[in-house]
Amino acid sequence: MDYLAMVTGLCGGLGLFLYGMHVMASGLQKTAGGNMKRLLEMLTKNKYIGILVGALVTAIIQSSSATTVMVVGFVNAGLMNLTQAVGIIMGANIGTTITSWLVSSAEFLQTDTLAPIAIFFGAAMLLFAKKAKHRDIGEIIIGFGALFIGIEMMSSGVAPLSELEGFKEIFKEFGRNPVLGILVGTFVTALIQSSSASVGILIALAHNGLVTFDSAVYIIMGQNIGTCATALLSSLGASKNAKGAAYIHLLFNVIGSVIFSIVAVIFFKINPEIGQRTINEFWISIVHTSFNVANTIIMIPFSSVLVKIAEFLCNAKKVTDDESEVLHLDDRILNTPSIAIINCGKEIVHLANLAKKNLVLSFDAVLNKDKKAIEKIFEREEKIDNLTKYITQYLVKICDTDITSEENDYITSLFHTVHDIERMGDHCENLAEFAQNLIEDNLDFSESGKNELKDMFDEAKKCVENSISAFENGDIKDAQAVIREEERIDNLEKTLRQKHIERLSKNQCSPLVGVIYLDIVTNVERISDLALNVAQAVIKNKTV
């Protein structure tokens, strides 16, 4: 027996199978595009809709582990709570069974002939199609073909094992010893971090008549436990709530596997001849799907109990809106770029609100010479700079994922918006420095000068608030209000400059105070210009 050919066939087939899954999932995800956003909106409804969404998302990305990792990311980013996450996790286990049905249907679909043809046409579409959607479809077709060629290579690679009685005896032992079967399924799945791939290996072995019915059941139970490894590893370093999502996934699969393993042990004790029969690909898919559907039905009424146990295990608590934290960004969400972009928008709003707080404080610092306000501005400005860097780096990461040309254009717009907001913060810092100069040199504005600045500050505050609202809600009316307000501020700046020159000519104001006054007016006007940039970007993105 050529063991080298067998190992290389199995490893090569597994690699091609995993690659085919990845390519097909990537194409499906890009084709789904904005639909992922609508799925996200459904997450906030109830656990039953959550189960449906979890199944759909997993069917698209072809991995329950990846879906659960995303859920960990969503919880970590404050996008959902554990109660909402539990439904998604249950649905993900159902959605992952799609792959086993695809693989088990290989013989029925005559994929040995169909797969190469699929790769040919898929490659032609990917290389020569002009429209991005057609190229995405080509990617799906290539992945489809590669997946089936991979499973065919695995089946061919392990075919010689059917001649070894000792190897068949190993699977009989798995059937006789449920704990051993579960451990093998857990270990293999945790090692390759894909239950779909480990089911694919099991199907390849079953295709060659090597797997008994009872051993298949116990190995599948183990595979469902092993798939939790990815989410558990992903939750390391995440918030306590995010760890809770990984624990829910583990609890759901472990409890379900224990219950059904006990049922299986009793059934096979009563019907030993059924357990020792060899199982084919079709029945593996039935067992895999039946377990996940039945487990979900049984566990739905106890979903709140799962959440409470998970919260107890990780000591979870509500996410607080601490301005020193990154609230909405998480690398796990990058698997779904459209949702990562949504969260980037939320984080930019968080950044803008920090800048607005500094804006209000800077006005108070200038008008009242408030030392505490000045200190707080400098402290918060450092946070604004750090958050700006983080958001910018995250946008770069999104650009490295599979995004559409429209999403790429929108991200370019977000880069500019982040820069504009960060510049607002810089101008607020300038205002704090001017206030500091007033305190150090014991200078004061005249009452008329203070009143003029107060009027300009009020207009600038409205301008910034409306620009944030326009960006957050995609509101054209708020964006248009910014345009009108910015024009008023421009006119006000000219008026204030003229009045100040008149005061200087009449010796009603000292030259040193006059220089600070004009610098303040200039900085406030520039803040309104930056708010206008944000508003104009909203209008442009809405009309494209």
| Residues 6+ positions from 75 with CB-CB distance below 8 Å | 81, 82, 85, 239, 241, 242, 244, 245
For the record, the structure tokens of 349 come out as 């709003």
Number of domains in the chain: 2
Q: Pick from 314, 349, 365: which residue ends a domain?
A: 314
Burial bucket for residue 337 (CB in 10 Å: 0-12, 13-18, 19+): buried
- Kindly report, residue by residue over 394-422, the tens digit of the pLDDT: 999 999 887 878 888 999 999 999 999 99
CATH code where residue 342 lies: 1.20.58.220
Q: Are 333 and 398 in contact (CB under 8 A)?
A: no
In a domain, 320, yes or no: no
Residues 46, 143, single domain; the answer is yes
In a domain, 125, yes or no: yes
What gap in Å lies between CA 43 and CA 73, rounded to an integer?
A: 14
Do 348 and 277 lie in one domain? The reply is no
Question: Does any domain span residue 321?
Answer: no
- Write down which residue in 264, 286, 314 finishes a domain: 314
Q: Based on the domain organization, do 17 and 130 belong to the same domain?
A: yes
The domain boundary residue, chosen from 248, 281, 314: 314
Below-70 pLDDT ranges, the chain: 1-3, 21, 25-45, 60-63, 77-79, 103-112, 151, 155, 157-168, 171, 237-239, 316-324, 508, 543-544
| Residue the block writes with tokens 């393993």 | 261
Residue burial 382-408, b: 16+ Cβ < 10 Å; e: rest: ebbeebbeebeebbeebeebebbeebe
Q: Is 326 within a domain?
A: no
Residue 442, classified by CB atoms within 10 Å of its CB into exposed (0-12), middle (13-18) or buried (19+), is exposed
* pLDDT attached to residue 356: 95
Could you tell me if residue 325 is inside a domain?
Answer: no
Q: Say if residue 300 is in the same domain as residue 336.
A: no
Residue 308 inside a domain? The answer is yes
Shared domain check, 359 and 483: yes
Considering the domain architecture, whether residues 15 and 163 belong to the same structural domain is answered as: yes
Residue 151, classified by CB atoms within 10 Å of its CB into exposed (0-12), middle (13-18) or buried (19+), is buried
Are residue 426 and residue 308 in the same domain, yes or no?
no
Range of the domain at 538: 331-543
Q: Are residues 440 and 495 in the same domain?
A: yes
Is residue 324 in a domain? no
The pLDDT of residue 110: 57
Q: What SS3 class is residue 369? A: coil
Q: Are residues 294 and 348 in the same domain?
A: no
User: Within this chain, do residues 224 and 353 fall inside the same structural domain, yes or no?
Assistant: no
Residues 427 and 473 in one domain: yes
Identify whether 322 is part of a domain. no
Instruction: Specify whether 308 is located in the same domain as 347.
Output: no
Kindly give, in sequence order, each residue whose CB lies less than 8 Å from that of residue 251, ignoring residues fewer than 6 positions away.
306, 309, 310
Inter-residue contact 122 to 139 (CB < 8 Å):
yes
